[in-house]
Amino acid sequence: MNPKHGIAKRNSRDKLARNVIFLGGVAMVAGVVGIFLFLLAEVLPLLGGAEVAERSSEATPIAQPAVVIADEYQSHLVLMGKDASFAAIKVAQQEIVFSGRLPVGDNESITGVGKVPGRDALTASTDQGRVLVQAVSFKSHFAKAQDGEGRGERIVRPEKGDLTQVVVDEKKRAITCYAVQQAESGTVGVVAQLDDGNVLLSQRSVEVNQFTLEEEVSERKLETKFDGKLVHLLLTGDFRRVFGALDDGRLVWWDIRGEEFGSPQYGVAPQSMRKAQLPKITALEFLLGEQSLLVGRADGRVSIWFPVRIAEGRNDFKLSRIRRFSALEGEIIAIAASRRNKGFLALSSKGELEVSYSTTGVLDWKGSTNVPGASAITYTPKADGLVVAGSKQAKILSLKNEHPELTLGTLFTPVWYEGANQPAYEWQSTGATEDYEPKLSFMPLIVGTIKGTIFSMLFSIPIAVLGAMYVSQFMHFSLRRYIKPVIEIMAAIPSVVLGFLAAIWLAPKVESFFTSLLLMGLFLPAIIVAGGFLGLRLPVSFRARFPDGIASVFFIFAILVGAALCLLLGPVVEHLVFGGSFVLWATDVMGAPYEQRNAIVVGLAMSFAVIPIIFSISEDAFSNVPKTLVSGSLALGADRWQTVTKVVLPTASPGIFSATMVGFGRAVGETMIVLMATGNTAIMSMNPFNGFRALSANIAVEIPEAPVDGTLYRALFLSGLVLFAFTFFINTLAELVRSRLRKRYQAL
């Protein structure tokens, strides 16, 4: 064989191997970069703001509209003026579908107009103590296709519904301020202030007898005296609370308790706002859910108010201002709340319009309406459009604001949610009702991830590193060749199996034998140290009878005996020290409620997944220390322990640190164990006796329920990006530390 031919063949193989390795490295880097770019592409839409553009401009027959209603397809508008005249027009064709005026009697005049919150219904009050409610509906269907197959064009047509007349006051006193509510059952409630100052609630319920199918009408009327002058009123949908705005700029509210009004309570303004400084309230509306109030004032500002519980365990509330938005030019003359989320619109007397989101406190968009005499606004039902109506003109604006509820503030800072006593970090993505407000704070998830990682590493690092040191440096070879493979096989156990066992078997056992586990943590290390100390005190002639490293058998026996004693003494110690139950003692004395699935259980279960990784890499690091260093140390008079701690351990420290970081990454990204063994409670607590929710487990729990491209969907991708960035940062830091340690000890 030609030697040159052999060399050329070997060189070509080396070149091929280098190219394959290079391409593999490039592919790995490209894969990591690709994952990062994909996550980033899914997250970037969260950073976009609101986009508003004019869709159409329509001429209307109403000179000064006070109310405007739009259908979900933005094909028709219904407008009502201050004189209770109304008209429905077809967009783009300027066709009047129907028009009219709410009927009033002779010598009767309109004192106010409005609409029912969250419903398509026009309302008006009169000076004869009556309130009129005109329902409006939008019927839609598809025309037949011209070819006779499939569906044709969608046809929408507005229709007038039933007209409901509510006699608020039998004495026919004039209504100066009022509000209307209508329930799904058909119950209509009206709260009004009369010209003598009294506030009156009139509720009219209609029930259908299931046997006779006859309608049974019942009425309830409540009245209370009140000295202040109300300029705006609101009534909740359950007819249990009344909110009002006074002419001096204050807010007032009543609880309806049984068959009477409660005492009036007043909104608590910040101390910086004195009564004399309160601007006049010019607009008052409910947010979606009717828990929060949108308060517009003459200074051009909108603020959010809702009742806050005075103290835990009490049923007393105070109406408090939660947040305030930046001012518009001119006074606020109209506010409209979205039917889809906690967003709202505000219109100023100067024609400025703002699109804001109440929970975030962020002004998403602000601009001029360019509508002469703009006086009425509304969201379209799908919150994908806005309508601004003015002097015989209305504009329909398209709105693109896909993720207003998510900002950096809501993700990483405390948010004051409706019904809460104070700002808090909360994750709760879904609720029982459509008006539920999603709470998407990452902080409980980040704290949960850190909590689970800390407890798992507390168990894993000492056992894995010290075990690797003992196996590689002290254990007899005949045992080492069995121990290391067995521990490495543990890494092959599926995490779902570990999580299942932790939830079903380990968690109840830990609760029952927690005192015994505490005793093991205290006494087993002492037993090991004492055993080693006593072993060194045995005569040399006796120790010489046994091979080096065989002492591990006696240590294992001592550990088993010590564990058995701890299990036997656990109930006795629990009775003497903890009053018979550690669980109750922890809850009552320490103030740390004990939950069966907690961080201790997760730490124990996750250590079965992390220990094999740290042990295997650490054992290799110990074993790869040059034998010349060990021999030189022993030759200079150092004993085995001194050699291991002073020479072997520092030399192997870069590998040990790498092993720890790999185990740390495994713990951070663990999903199934923390999913099954923690209870998945997203809370901000480092209490080891309660559960938590980690970022990885949260993705597994929430992703099946997340609509594609929705806010929750993209928030989960953002949590994946946070995990990616966190592990990348930790690995980069670990590599820097490892390189520094290697340079430090490479001269040994």
CATH number of 280-426: 2.130.10.10
Closest of 412, 444, 495, 518 to residue 691, by C-alpha = 444
Is residue 165 within 8 A of residue 125, CB to CB? The reply is no
Residues 303-327 pLDDT 10s: 999 999 887 766 788 899 999 998 9
Is residue 179 within 8 A of residue 190, CB to CB? The reply is yes
SS3 260: strand
Tokens (6 digits) for 463 = 């056992």
Q: Residue 708 burial (CB < 10 Å; 0-12/13-18/19+)?
A: exposed
Strands laid side by side in the 85-90 sheet: 65-70, 76-81, 85-90, 95-101
> What confidence score (pLDDT) does residue 269 get?
67
**CATH fold of 449-745, please?**
MetI-like fold (1.10.3720)
Using CA atoms, how far apart are residues 304 and 86, in angstroms rounded to an integer?
31
Residues of the chain below pLDDT 50 = none
Using CA atoms, how far apart are residues 403 and 709, in angstroms rounded to an integer?
10
Using CA atoms, how far apart are residues 206 and 186, in angstroms rounded to an integer?
6
Closest of 340, 226, 333 to residue 285, by C-alpha = 333
Q: Would you say the C-alpha torsion 105, 110, 111, 112 has a positive or negative sign?
A: positive
Residue 730, phi then psi, degrees to nearest 5: -65, -45
Is residue 77 within 8 A of residue 58, CB to CB? The reply is yes
* 280-426 against 449-745: fold identical: no
Q: Count Cβ neighbours within 10 Å for each residue of 589-613 and write b for 16 or more, e otherwise.
A: eeeeebbbbbbbbbbbbbbbbbbbb
> What confidence score (pLDDT) does residue 746 get?
64
Residue 465, phi then psi, degrees to nearest 5: -70, -50
Q: What pTM was computed for the model? A: 0.86
> What confidence score (pLDDT) does residue 389 get?
93
Query: Radius of gyration of the chain from Cα atoms?
Result: 37
Amino acid identity, position 487: I
DSSP alpha helix (H) spans, 208-345: none
Give the rounded distance of the alpha carbon of 441 from its chain centre.
4
Domain ranges across the chain: 280-426, 449-745
> What confidence score (pLDDT) does residue 214 get?
73
Q: How many CB atoms lie within 10 A of CB 325?
A: 22
> What confidence score (pLDDT) does residue 27 get?
92
**Per this entry, what is the length of the chain?**
748
- In the chain, what are the helix, strand and coil shares in percent, each to the nearest 5? 40, 30, 30
Tokens (6 digits) for 371 = 């509508």
Residues 512-563 pLDDT 10s: 899 999 999 888 888 888 877 777 777 777 767 776 666 777 778 888 888 8
> What confidence score (pLDDT) does residue 549 get?
63
Which secondary-structure segment (H or E) carries 364?
strand 362-368
> What confidence score (pLDDT) does residue 420 get?
86
Is residue 484 within 8 A of residue 623, CB to CB? The reply is no
Using CA atoms, how far apart are residues 119 and 180, in angstroms rounded to an integer?
11
Q: Residue 652 burial (CB < 10 Å; 0-12/13-18/19+)?
A: buried
DSSP alpha helix (H) spans, 624-710: 627-635, 640-643, 649-669, 672-677, 695-702
Closest of 567, 514, 558 to residue 689, by C-alpha = 514
Using CA atoms, how far apart are residues 53 and 389, in angstroms rounded to an integer?
16
The three-point CA angle 707-709-713 to 5° equals 60
Amino acid identity, position 619: E
Q: How many CB atoms lie within 10 A of CB 246?
A: 20
First vs last Cα of the chain: how many Å apart? 46
Which secondary-structure segment (H or E) carries 98?
strand 95-101
- With tokens 């039917």, the residue in question is 339
> What confidence score (pLDDT) does residue 313 get?
63
SS3 313: coil
Using CA atoms, how far apart are residues 293 and 19, in angstroms rounded to an integer?
67
Tell me how far CA of residue 127 lies from CA of 113, 124, 198, 403, 428, in angstroms.
12, 10, 14, 45, 48
DSSP codes, 32-82: HHHHHHHHHHHHGGGG---EEEEEEEEE-S-SSEEEEEE-TTS-EEEEEET
Using CA atoms, how far apart are residues 672 and 606, in angstroms rounded to an integer?
10
Which secondary-structure segment (H or E) carries 214?
none
> What confidence score (pLDDT) does residue 332 get?
95
